[in-house]
Chain A
């Protein structure tokens, strides 16, 4: 996984404008021509306008969550509440099941993330390094399983959870998410990219297979593990459909399911936009935090993933 390599400066200077670029022109281009300045300004104008379109909805969301119901309806665009109020948050935490939803999301996300880190890397290591009969069949099966679209599995998952008496339990919410085929493939790819010499040394020293995996290989796999953590965290925190079909007990409702039920108008009268937007905002904070902490990694990860 390489970071973005900075290009040669000669290339960079001549990137903007058109026209014939011989060596002489390229040297002269150090002082920008009026056309180039105009082009550059246009580029920044386009970028800034687009960025505003992308960011503004979230700013409106933050502002609206501090408005009163009437204010939110009357001034949907304003970024400053006419009267500041934390009533939405108060209602959310004091008189709704929001804390329960949050707790459930935390529980599920922690278990799923931990499970995926362990099981994905375990299976990925076996598929990359341990020669066993049927390995290629297992891998082919894995790729086949990955191509099954998630929404097709809604009814099937409910059927099997019901049959196993796991419906309406944390186990039913967590177990089916504990391994993801994509994560196994990512880990396999990573293990194949690192040299085997270190492990062989450890094996000669007499360490067992699991010990080699646990104490030698896994610590080296930190970059790939971070990828798995980010994907699992984001995936299980934002998961909705699986929780719809695996539980109906209100005590087991997660944030996604709970907030989705808010839009059906379960709480009080009126459109309640500040409350709904506050709920959506609070549920976004953890994934946003993970995103900003690992921002550099996320941008690099995809590069590495595609390059492999």
Chain B
């Protein structure tokens, strides 16, 4: 590490900077030791476990544990058995969750940010606080509340009954909402082309079935709790926009709607991408609410890869498979992050060029580099 590093700048070793190099290592030592010991080493250990047949007894480095190659990965990706089916189900559940949560929470948080960004708004602080408050509560506490609100005779169903809607038994209903929507149309069974074939042990008919009603309740919860956080991110970006462009557009006679779509939104592009990425990364990590609320049920329709990984290792003692699931999940998340970066690079430049002469301020490019810094706090 020390030798390969590029020399920063030639520096005087004496004078007031004496001893700074040693202090530099000393000051970063606690961080290096802790992150190394509890992040880097564990990942390497888990990588070994994912290609071993360790069963949880003793040390994974003991002599009885042997290398099994890609067996664990093959079991979940192409095993044809229950492990593959469970993994496919978990991926399906989580994919629907992401597909619905990410756009909805982004749209809602942007909408809320625009609403409370009005300068003349009375009670602006109150509204901001109200929308942000769900974000500070723990996922456990909010899940407990959600289980109550969405119980069979709970608050939500009572409100629905005012409108003559007979609400479902949310957390016990495993039916997919798209299947449910097709049922009144007389479609109760999928076409053979979809039911006969599948991917990862799950038929195509089930892949397109939509999230289960139970998962839908979790989707609503995610939108409810994260919209406040992202509202703050959008709000910060909105306040950084220069008012000159908007003013010019108003002089040109653009109405509020046009100003939002043609002026504000293009300028918010970097922030929009940040929020979408954080949403994607966070969306693939659902664990707390499943652990607290449903443990994967009903009928495994709220199983997520993260929870499946935990369950496979800690409950079923199949540590190799659990670790393999975790690494596949890791690859999925990294892939989405890279995809986002690629999309940003491809389209970000011409856009900025177009708005270059009008908005050269620090707002647009300045918002991007901090993405990693804000990432963990927002995704929680």
Contacts and interface: CB of A to CB of B under 8 A. Distances in A.
Interface of A: 4-8, 11-12, 14-22, 43-44, 46-47, 50-51, 54-55, 57-58, 60-61, 64, 72-73, 76-77, 119-120, 122-123, 125-127, 130-138, 142-143, 145-160, 162-164, 175-176, 178-182, 184-186, 189, 200, 203-204, 208-210, 213, 231, 234-235, 237-238, 240-241, 244-245, 255-256, 259-260, 262-264, 271, 273, 276-277, 279-281, 283-284, 287-288, 290-291, 295, 298-299, 302-303, 305-308
Q: Is the interface of A mostly helix, strand, loop or mixed?
A: helix
A47 B313 CA distance: 46
A43 to B, nearest CB: 7
B17 interface: yes
Counting chain B CB atoms within 10 Å of each CB, the highest count among A126, A279, A298 belongs to: A126
Interface in B283-329: 284-285, 287-288, 291-293, 295, 306, 309-310, 313-314, 319, 322-323, 326-327, 329
20 contacts: A57-B145, A76-B155, A130-B23, A131-B21, A135-B5, A142-B35, A145-B39, A149-B285, A152-B43, A175-B34, A179-B30, A179-B31, A209-B20, A210-B23, A235-B377, A238-B140, A240-B288, A273-B148, A303-B236, A308-B370
B147 A263 contact: yes
Contacts of A163: 45, 59-60
A119 B31 contact: yes
A204 B18 CA distance: 11
| 3 nearest A-B pairs in the assembled complex, by CB-CB distance | A132-B24, A156-B42, A18-B255
A238 B45 contact: no
B8 A131 contact: yes
Interface residues of B, number: 127
Interface of B: 1-2, 4-9, 11, 16-17, 19-25, 27-28, 30-32, 34-35, 37-43, 45-46, 49, 59-60, 112, 115-116, 118-122, 126-134, 136-145, 147-149, 151, 153-155, 158-159, 224, 228, 232-233, 235-237, 239-240, 243, 246-247, 250-251, 253, 255-257, 271, 281, 284-285, 287-288, 291-293, 295, 306, 309-310, 313-314, 319, 322-323, 326-327, 329-330, 333-334, 337, 362, 366-367, 370, 372-377, 380
A234 B136 CA distance: 7
Contact of A306 (B133, B327, B370): B370
Contacts, number: 367
Contacts of A136: 5-6, 8
Contacts of B38: 157, 160, 175-176
